[in-house]
Amino acid sequence: MTLDLLLFSVLREAVGADHVSVEVADDTDVARIASEFLAGRGIEAASLPPLRFAVNEEFVPGDHVPRDGDRLAVLSPFSGG
């Protein structure tokens, strides 16, 4: 399946893009999608602060399995005012 992957903050800076299209197996959960995507770019997800995920603008747990065409946002902790 094909997903739109949105990256924010340090992830966007590390990857050098804020939006990419990715192909993943149909039964892959969002935590694994993010981990494998980042590992493919030399970034170990375990070295990052805990990530959060949103599918189609709704927060989901890491074991959520998206559907073809979904928009997956991978968010690292951030703060500001």
Domains of the chain: 2-75 (3.10.20.30)
Selection from 11, 32, 31, 10 nearest residue 20 by Cα? 11
Is pLDDT at 80 greater than 70 in this prediction? no
Model pLDDT, residue 67: 97
**69 CB neighbour count, 10 Å cutoff:** 10
β-sheet with 71-75: strand ranges across: 19-23, 2-7, 71-75, 52-55, 58-60
Residue-wise pLDDT for 9-67, tens only, equals 888 888 899 999 999 999 999 999 999 998 998 888 777 778 999 999 999 999 999 99
Global pTM reads 0.88
